[in-house]
Structures are given as structure tokens and as C-alpha cells.
Structure 1
Amino acid sequence: MTEKVENVNLTSAEISSLWVTYLNIGVASCLLTHYAETCNDPEILAIVEESQHFAKKHLKLIVDLFHEEKIAVPEGFKVEKHVIPRAPKLFSDIFYIHTILHMSKYGVTSHNVGMILAAREDVRQFYKEMFDDVSYLHNKVVICMQEKGIFIRMPYMNYPTKIDFVNKESFLTGWFGRRRPLLGIEVTHLMVNANQNEIGRALCAGFSQVAQDQEIREYFLRGKHICKHILSSIHDVLIESEVPAPMSWDQGVTDSTAAPFSDQLMLYIVGVLSNLGISSYGAAMSATMRRDISAMYTGFIAKTGTFGEDGLNLMIERRWLEQPPQFEDHDKLAKKE
């Protein structure tokens, strides 16, 4: 019988996952602080405040663990540094709850992955607690949005009533002639990516109005145009198959030109959205069985990847990109000796 090993060090997967989680929760705290200051809808404000409670709780859990393990706590994004108090409202209350829905979806996925990758029981329990909190919040957000009539459902389709098999290679094509109708899974991914780009377009539009740095302002405008191009391409595919396209969020941005956030925070948020977009396009490609749609996603990945890399360069030039945890460069250490 083997003895239980106590005080096992955190693995690279656990450290990097916790590190990224800390940064992303800090970003959420900054957004939620501005939302709480400017939200007028009492039901949405209650959800904003509960989201803030969970964010503070989860940040403390990570900080306590880092202190216990003697790991440097990242600089991250602190509210007092990156949120401008009493700034005018930049987005609508409806947009607030849509971004919280988006954040809760991401949280459910990322916390689940963190729990799966964790070897230590305390880290698994930590991610399970975060997963449970965010799942609860996600359910509450969906109920609130349904009651307000603003929840966007996936399109309905006829129930399959018989078993069938594909018997023509044309099932995979899509370049010429009449294309086959979209599969349910293909529509799901198209809708998810459309919704993400609606949020991205609105954020880029709002951020471009308030950014102080002209180069960053132009970068956000470029992001807005990329989102519009992707949305147009997705809508064309949906309309061709007579599938309703998701609604637009242009109305979610106010006419304010006063920044509620630092340029650094806004640039990081757009970078996170770019990374999520690439991941989502890759997942969509793996589930798509029409070659024309796969090629479309390939183009999205290339365009978004270039955009995201340019954003990283902007952060590096301004010394805003915090170094993630990495393994030792032993060759470099040997040269020092």
C-alpha cells in the first residue's frame, strides 16, 4: 500500500491555469465595477452585484493559494488602476447582461477544463466551487433574460423522425451548384460565432470612441470592421439556408467619448476575445461537413490571428504584457554561471 503524498507541488498546468484565471477574473471585476456604477435596471443590477461577489470570492481563493505556495501573485487588472470612477455610461443595461452571459459561458468552460487538468485535490475542489458558482450565475442570467424577452434562442428545426445515412459525396461539397441544407450542429456553431462577433463589434465600437491612444483607437476600429466582415459572411450562409440570423447589438453602445477603463484593460479584453474567436472557429471547423464553410472558418482564423498578434505587439511596445509562467531556460542559466 502506497502512502499518501502530502504537500505535492502544483503542476505547470495548475499554475498556468490559475494564473490565467486570476487575470480574467480581474478583467471581469473591472467591467462589473463600471456596470454597477451605471446600471439603471434593478434586475440587471442585482445580477451585476452578485457577479461582483463571486469575482471577489474567486480572486481571494487564488491569492490565498498563491501565498500558501509562495507563488508571485500576478499584477493582473486591479479595479483602482484600470477603472475610471464616475465615468459616463458606455454601454446599455441590455448589453451589460449579454456580456455577463458571455462571461459566464466562458467561465463554465474554463473552470471545467481547470478541474479536469488539476492533479491536486484542493485545486480540483477550488475549480469545482468556481464552476458551481458560475453555473448558478449562468442559469440566473438566462432566466432574467428570458423574462425580459431578450434571450436569443438557437433556431428551431424539425425533429428527426427516421434514421438515414449519407449516400452521396456531394454531402461534403459546397463550392458549386445547389448546396445541401445546413446541419443542426453547423447552425449551432455559426450562431455561437455570430453572437460572439456581435459582442466583439459592440465592444470595439465603444472602445474606439473612448481610447486615449490614437494607435489603439485605430486598432479597435479595425477590430470592429473585422467583426462586421465575419458577421456578414456568417449571415450569408444562414440566409442561404433560410435560417434566421441573430440580432445586432449596435444599439448597445452609447455616444459617450469619456473612457471608463484604461487603454491597457480595453486592449487586453479585445485580445481575449480574439483568442476565444480563434478557438471557437477551430471547434466549428471540426464539426463542419461542408467544405465551403470549413474554408470560411480557415479565413476567419487567419484574419483574427493576424489581428490578435498585432494587438500583442501593441501591448509589448507599451510594456503592458505580463509574462506568463514559464519553464526555466537552462541554457541561459548556464551562460550566467
Structure 2
Amino acid sequence: MDASHQKVHLSCAEISNLWDTYINDSVVKCILTHFLKTVEDSEVKPLLEFTIEVADSHLSDISRIYEQEGIARPEGFPVEKHVNLSAPRLFSDIFFMEYMQHMSKFGLSSHSNAIATSARDDIRSLFEKFHGQALELNREITTLMKKKGVYIRPPYMNYPKKAEFVDKQNFLTGWLGKKRPLLGNEVNHLYMTSLHNELGKSTLIGFAQVAQERELKSYFHSGIQLSDKILRETHHVLMESDVPNSMTWDAIVTESTNPPYSDQLMLFVVGILFQLGVAAYGLALSMCMRRDVGALYSSFILRALTYSEDGAQMIIERGWLEQPPMFADRDKLIKGE
């Protein structure tokens, strides 16, 4: 650890990474607290308890840094304000596992980025610890899902028998003429896109059932339709190359209409899911070498951004958006406003 780390001002990246982690972990704690209250599988329960403990430790660690640095701590999403523990279960135990697995993947990505963009040794060490915890959760939840037969693997493919080089320009085409088979990497991203949209669709169905505001119900319903459209288009590309579609699990959303979460929390969670979708589509686009598939991901990004912006406007209209850290407005300071 730097001997002088307390004298080194946090960078904008470090401040933003800490803020994002605090907000996201407060959301995770809320969501999983109700999961824990309603879980039925005795093997899933310990993982929920572990994940909540990890989220709690993150909130405590970041709060300590805020206090040391004299930084205002965000409100986040307190459980007592946003969770109704008396509400019946909204999702199945399978959904609980899928949700934890998805969040562990997000943790691995976001904490890695925080390590790469942090300079202070204490902040790097903190996110290295966070990354290790996300890795442990991902390993444990993957092991449990495989044990229970609910882990969905990407499709298998034949092993390459020899090294070959591309010798035709139509390797990149995809709109006209015969399309080449999908690359293994392209199938992997299409498959992950399908799985993530299945999770998003289930989340939106549950939230649409229990949302209190009619406008939010309508917004969540339009999200269901968007996820459905992306799923159909993704499956179509896979079927063209005779690749099996991702499996889905039935009845992961109950018939409850009693909200376990506040409208504010649900709207924020949907925003996070679509932001993660944009990031995933962007990565897939950068790795794609068939033009038609690349164009498909470009359209996914545009649609997800448009939907996410509509949600952000609804959050702002209701005074629910906590302002992220931002640079000083020099014009206002100069004008004395």
C-alpha cells in the first residue's frame, strides 16, 4: 500500500467506480433480501446469504473510504425503504440462481475494469478483493446449477483438425449470396445474448405484474416485447447455421401481483439490465466478422439505448435519480449561481 495514499486525491475513475459499486451493491442487497425470505431450495439459500454478506461488506468498505476522504455517501437503496418482506415470492429458485450468476459475471467485468483504471494501492487492493469474491460466487453458483441440471452451456462444435487461412472476401459478407457458417465466437455471443434476454424478459414480466404505477406497467410491458424481438432475431441467425437455440426454463415467474419491491427500485434494476445489454452488444459487435450479424448488434444497441433513455427520463421526472459524481460547473461558479 502507498505510504502516502491518504494524501493522494482519488481520481475521477476511482470515485466513479466506488460510487457505481455502492449503488449496485445496495440494489443487489435489496433484490436478494426478498429472494432469501422466499427461497425454498436449501442449497440455494447459503449462496443468497453469502452474496448478501458480500454486498454488505462492500457497502461498509466503501463507506469507510468515503468517511476517510470526506466524500458524501450516496443514499443508494436502503432495504427498509424499497423491500416488502411480507410480499410472496415473485420468482422461482431457478431464477434466483440465474440472477446471481448474471450478477457475478457483471461483478467480474466491473471490478476488473476498476482495477485497471485505479492508481491508488488501497483502491486497487479493494477491488482485487471484490473481484475475488465475484469469482468465488460465480464458481459456486455455476457448480450448483450444473449439479441441479439447470446450467445452460453454449453449443458444442467440432474441433478444428488443422490450421487454415481465409482466402475469400465473402468471409465478411452476410446480406447477399451464400452466408458462411457462424464462427465459434459469434455463436457464443449470440447465445449469451439469448440467455441474457431470457433473464431480462422474465424480470420484466415479474415487474410488470407487480408495478403500482400504470405508466411503469406499460414501460415494463414494452420491454418484454423488445426482449422478445431480440430473442427471435437472435434465434433466427442461429437457426440459419443449424445451431440449436438456448433452452429456457418454464414457470420461473409466479402469479403474484403483490409487489416485493418499490417501483423506484424496479425501474432502476431494469435500467441496469439494459445498460449491461448495451455493453454486451458492443463487445459482441467488436468481435463479429460477418456484416449482417454486426448490423444486427448495432440495431440491438440502438433499441436498448432508446428504451433505457425512456426509463431514465421516467426516473428523473419522479425525482428518483441520485446524481452520480460530476465535475464542477465552472460557468455557475464564475457567475456565482
Q: 1:270 to 1:249 in 2, by over 3 A?
A: farther
CA contact (8 A) 1:174 1:291 kept: yes
Matched, 1:91 2:91: yes
Q: Provide the rounded CA distance (Å) in 1 between the counterparts of 2:21 and 2:249.
A: 27
CA contact (8 A) 2:51 2:137 kept: yes
Deviation at residue 4 of structure 1 after TM alignment: 5.8
Aligned to 1:301: 301
Deviations 1:122-168 (A, max 9, x none): 00000011111111111000100010001111111111121111111
Name whichever of 199-208 and 250-259 sits farther off.
250-259
Aligned to 1:272: 272
Name whichever of 169-178 and 211-220 sits farther off.
169-178
Q: Provide the rounded CA distance (Å) in 2 between the counterparts of 1:6 and 1:309.
A: 38
Deviation at residue 6 of structure 1 after TM alignment: 5.1
Aligned to 1:260: 260
Runs of 4+ in 1 over 6 A off after TM superposition: none
Gaps of 5+ in 2: none
- 3-state SS of 1:43 partner: coil
Letter in 2 for 1:163: A
TM-score, normalised via structure 1 length: 0.97
Aligned to 1:73: 73
Aligned to 1:242: 242
Letter in 2 for 1:309: E
Give matches, 1:156-305, under 5 Å.
156-305=156-305
Q: Provide the rounded CA distance (Å) in 1 between the counterparts of 2:250 and 2:313.
A: 28
CA contact (8 A) 2:5 2:120 kept: no
Identity among equivalent positions (%) equals: 47
Deviations 1:238-291 (A, max 9, x none): 111111111224521000000000000000000011111111111111111111
Q: 1:4 to 1:317 in 2, by over 3 A?
A: closer
Letter in 2 for 1:94: I
CA contact (8 A) 1:209 1:217 kept: yes
Q: Provide the rounded CA distance (Å) in 1 between the counterparts of 2:4 and 2:64.
A: 24
Q: CA RMSD of the aligned region, Å?
A: 1.2
Letter in 2 for 1:141: I
Letter in 2 for 1:111: H
Aligned to 1:145: 145
Q: Provide the rounded CA distance (Å) in 1 between the counterparts of 2:270 and 2:11.
A: 29
Aligned to 1:9: 9
Q: Provide the rounded CA distance (Å) in 2 between the counterparts of 1:307 and 1:336.
A: 37
Matched, 1:129 2:129: yes
CA contact (8 A) 2:44 2:93 kept: yes
Q: Provide the rounded CA distance (Å) in 2 between the counterparts of 1:285 and 1:210.
A: 35
Gaps of 5+ in 1: none
